[in-house]
């Protein structure tokens, strides 16, 4: 709660875990100001809250998502980027579960609104605190006054504004806030990062490549000695990291520790090593680029938590993808037929899957 108020009595309904498949049915309309697809940090789009209809994102729906849209729009009005939008939504999740509350708690009985702002004069009138746009604007005004707010941990930046007892209280809500902002804006600047055309990266910015495509010494029993994929992870704690669909398509296979999505252009993208319980899509689902689909794990033949990303060109109607050399043509075993180098695939879209300035190569 704003103004040195602890978290006692917070409403925790809708505590986020994963984006539900129903998020696909969210209907949003973007107005001018969408972010650049080339920037991993992303610009901030404007969302029309009146067009949000059916669907649930990370356990939030209806009026909660409309309030999230108003928070995002307040950030955009102040010329703030997507990172601020996520912090704002995250904070309101932790304070009110994205609900305009007309009550406080034992620590701050005068707290009101999405951000539980107190009647101490710093947050305006009662009407201001109960107004989603005004209360969000006041939150962001206080946020940007915090030195280094955009380079510190989001939960700590929010804590500096809210003054609550636990500086890490908001950390729990970050992933859900990122997912909500992704779903409402529907652009390529969200957590999966940097869209170009219809392709995005499978993890948020800052990951490493721990194994590349081609022949290798098998790192663990059961793993191949010809790797038709690349391995990506966010060191040092990649377990549970969100995996995003890199393109639109249909989920065709989920079993063991893998998910396969077939593009409308015929090629297939497979994501591996997650727990089935961490998969947030089902076979037959239609997915969009940047849609959360699973969490990074270490199931199957694996030396640790990472994402194995592999692309099979078999059946592709995209001539550029079809022209890529597959593993078998490079001397790999029959099992590598059709599987192309993911880095070469990304290059077709003008993207570097592991750019030197954003991705380290920790390949043994």
- Verify that 28 and 154 share a domain, yes or no: yes
Residue that terminates a domain, selected from 170, 185, 200: 185
- Verify that 149 and 76 share a domain, yes or no: yes
Residue that terminates a domain, selected from 128, 153, 185: 185
Q: Burial of 31 by CB count in 10 Å (0-12 exposed, 13-18 middle, 19+ buried)?
A: exposed
pTM of the model: 0.49
- Verify that 223 and 88 share a domain, yes or no: no
- Verify that 215 and 170 share a domain, yes or no: no
Q: How many domains does the chain have?
A: 2
- Verify that 253 and 146 share a domain, yes or no: no
- The DSSP H or E segment spanning 295 is strand 292-295
Q: What is the residue-wise DSSP string for 62-123?
A: THHHHHHHHHHHHHHHTT--HHHHHHHHHHHHHHHTT---S---SS-TT-BTTTTB-SSSTT
- Is residue 91 a contact partner of residue 83, using CB atoms and an 8 Å limit? no
243 belongs to a structural domain: yes
198 belongs to a structural domain: no
- Verify that 246 and 132 share a domain, yes or no: no
By residue range, what is the domain housing residue 169? Answer: 21-185
What's the pLDDT at 237?
Answer: 65
Q: Burial of 225 by CB count in 10 Å (0-12 exposed, 13-18 middle, 19+ buried)?
A: exposed
In the predicted model, residues of the chain with pLDDT beneath 50 are 4-43, 187-197
201 belongs to a structural domain: no
Pure H helices in the chain:
63-77, 82-96, 126-130, 132-143, 154-162, 174-185, 319-322, 342-347
Tracing tokens 């129903």 back to the chain, one arrives at 22
What's the pLDDT at 2?
Answer: 59
Looking up residue 296, the CATH number of its domain turns out to be 2.70.70.10
- Verify that 165 and 78 share a domain, yes or no: yes
What's the pLDDT at 196?
Answer: 33
- Is residue 29 a contact partner of residue 51, using CB atoms and an 8 Å limit? yes
- Verify that 115 and 236 share a domain, yes or no: no
- Verify that 173 and 220 share a domain, yes or no: no
Tell me the two tokens of residue 242.
């969100």
Q: What is the pLDDT of residues 57-80, one digit of tens each?
A: 888 988 999 999 999 999 988 888
- Verify that 50 and 139 share a domain, yes or no: yes
Q: What is the pLDDT of residues 199-250, one digit of tens each?
A: 889 998 889 999 999 998 877 766 778 999 999 998 776 789 999 999 989 9
**Interacting residues of 9 by C-beta distance below 8 A, sequence separation 6+:** 104, 105, 106, 107
**Is the bond preceding 279 in cis, omega lying within 30 degrees of 0?**
no
7 belongs to a structural domain: no
Per-residue CA distances from 197 to 111, 183, 225, 261, 320 (Å): 45, 18, 33, 18, 14
Per-residue CA distances from 109 to 5, 101, 102, 118, 363 (Å): 10, 12, 10, 8, 55
254 belongs to a structural domain: yes
196 belongs to a structural domain: no
11 belongs to a structural domain: no
Helix (H) and strand (E) counts for the chain?
8, 17
Within 10 A of 214 (CB to CB), how many other CB atoms are there? 16
45 belongs to a structural domain: yes
- Is residue 186 a contact partner of residue 46, using CB atoms and an 8 Å limit? no
- Verify that 232 and 116 share a domain, yes or no: no
- Verify that 172 and 295 share a domain, yes or no: no
């Amino acid at each position: 709660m704003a103004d040195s108020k602890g978290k006692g009595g917070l409403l925790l309904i809708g505590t986020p875990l994963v984006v539900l498949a129903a998020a696909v049915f969210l209907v949003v309309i973007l107005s001018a100001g969408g972010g650049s697809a080339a920037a991993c940090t992303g610009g901030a789009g404007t969302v029309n809250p009146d067009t949000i209809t059916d669907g649930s994102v990370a356990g939030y729906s209806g009026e909660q998502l409309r309030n999230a849209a108003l928070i995002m729009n307040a950030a955009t009005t102040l010329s703030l980027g997507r990172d601020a939008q996520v912090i704002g939504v995250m904070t309101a999740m932790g304070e009110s579960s994205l609900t305009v509350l007309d009550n406080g708690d034992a620590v701050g009985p005068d707290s009101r609104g999405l951000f539980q702002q107190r009647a101490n004069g710093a947050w305006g009138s009662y009407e201001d605190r109960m107004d989603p746009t005004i209360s969000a604007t006041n939150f962001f005004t206080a946020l940007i006054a915090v030195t280094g707010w955009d380079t510190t941990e989001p939960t700590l930046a929010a804590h500096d504004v809210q003054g609550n007892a636990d500086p890490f209280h908001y950390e729990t809500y970050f992933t859900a806030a990122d997912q909500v902002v992704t779903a409402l804006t529907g652009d390529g600047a969200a957590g999966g990062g940097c869209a170009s055309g219809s392709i995005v990266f499978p993890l948020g910015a800052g990951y490493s490549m721990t194994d590349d495509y081609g022949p290798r010494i098998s790192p663990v029993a059961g793993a191949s000695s010809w790797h038709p994929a690349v391995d990506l992870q966010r060191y040092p704690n990649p377990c549970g990291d969100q995996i995003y669909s890199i393109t639109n398509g249909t989920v065709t296979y989920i079993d063991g520790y893998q998910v396969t999505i077939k593009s409308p252009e015929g090629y297939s993208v497979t994501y591996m090593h997650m727990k089935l319980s961490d998969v947030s899509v089902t076979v037959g689902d239609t997915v969009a680029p940047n849609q959360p689909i699973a969490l990074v794990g270490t199931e199957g033949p694996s030396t640790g938590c990472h994402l194995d990303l592999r692309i099979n060109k078999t059946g592709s109607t995209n001539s550029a993808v079809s022209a890529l050399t597959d593993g078998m043509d490079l001397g790999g075993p029959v099992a590598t037929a059709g599987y192309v180098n993911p880095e070469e695939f990304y290059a077709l879209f003008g993207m570097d899957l592991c750019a030197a300035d954003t991705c380290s190569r920790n390949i043994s």
